Amino acid sequence: MLTLRQMRYFDALATARHFGRAAEMVHISQPALSVQIMEMEEYLGAKLIERMRTNTMLTQKGEEVLLHVRAILQQVDLLEQTARKGGGPLEGLIRIGIIPTVAPYLVPQFIPHLRRTYPSVDVELKEAVTDRLMADLSAGRLDAVIAALPLDIEGINTRPLFTDRFYMAVAENGENVLLSPLTENEVNVDRLLLLEEGHCLRDQALAVCSASKRSLVNFGATSMATLLQMVSHDMGMTLIPEMAIATETSRNSIRIVPFAEPQPSREIGLAWRRSSHRAKEMDALAEAIIAASPVARDAAA
């Protein structure tokens, strides 16, 4: 018979399009995942996956089955959450997406605070770029997303959480001698390092520095940590959000230069589906994020 476990494994494989990555997502071995998918195909009497050398793709029948599988899993999750719910403001499993330029600096404070405040809550986190997270949110694979605003997407509600100011990071003893406070037209865009395409912080850096893509160093890093390692070796300069400063200055030889007023910034917010059965819980989640964020606490002080 077809099992919920097989459907969850199939959903993970359809999301990752790679057996190894899908196996990591559901915390089993790759051979075990492959066996479950083959058993599912055998039971349904149809090939769902086209296996290739480096990745996989769904067959036409697989795409049709995926729509039904995800609808079933969404209803099962709703049933489990309803059964566990005991009237508290935040209980049961909540799946949260978070962008990479926020996750390393918020999660270590946020998750312990959330568990202390709401002991009955179980958290599942996914870190990815904004477009991918919002697609998962709209499809019901996530309950909420923490990302930079605005997020003008049909059917999605948002709530601002806190303002995260931007600074410029340069090497401690580098060739760039920047005056403080820095004005935007003093940024040497020829030495500006950026995250790769798809990261919202890349677009924000372009906007702050009024730069075109043609005027930038031809490098796109996958993480803030990589960028700041490069900066510490005087390979360029980069925009750094306020929430990252304490962590990154403790492990990199960098100097932080503030911008002149009005300082450029980004607004970090919480997004959820307007139609979600958990919409009433989002205020409690938002308050927990604000309480855990050092940037939000400093602004309120």
Of the spans 40-44, 78-82, 277-281, which averages the highest pLDDT? Answer: 40-44
In angstroms, the CA 125 to CA 119 distance is: 17
Q: What secondary structure letter does DSSP report for 169?
A: E
Place of tokens 């083959």: 38
Prediction pTM value: 0.67
Does 192 score more than 90 pLDDT?
no
Q: What is the pLDDT of residue 203?
A: 72
Residues 44-79, buried b or exposed e (16+ Cβ, 10 A)? eeeebbeeeeeebebeeebeebbeebbeebeeebee
In angstroms, the CA 199 to CA 193 distance is: 13
Q: Are strands 56-58 and 49-51 parallel, antiparallel or unpaired?
A: antiparallel
Mean pLDDT of the chain: 84
The domain spans of the chain are 4-72, 83-162+266-300, 164-265
Q: What is the pLDDT of residue 24?
A: 85
Q: What is the pLDDT of residue 134?
A: 94
List residues bridging with 144 in a β-sheet: 96
Note the pLDDT tens digit of each residue in 49-77: 998 877 889 999 999 999 999 999 888 87
Residues 149-166, buried b or exposed e (16+ Cβ, 10 A)? bebeeeebebbebbebbb
Instruction: Please name the CATH architecture into which domain 164-265 falls.
Output: 3-Layer(aba) Sandwich (3.40)
Cβ distance 231 to 169 under 8 Å?
yes
Task: pLDDT band for 177, please (50, 70, 90 cuts).
Answer: low
Read off the pLDDT of each residue in 217-244 and give the average, rounded to a whole number. 81
Task: pLDDT band for 296, please (50, 70, 90 cuts).
Answer: confident
One of 1.20.120.1200, 3.40.50.360, 3.40.470.10, 1.10.10.10 is the CATH number of 4-72, namely 1.10.10.10
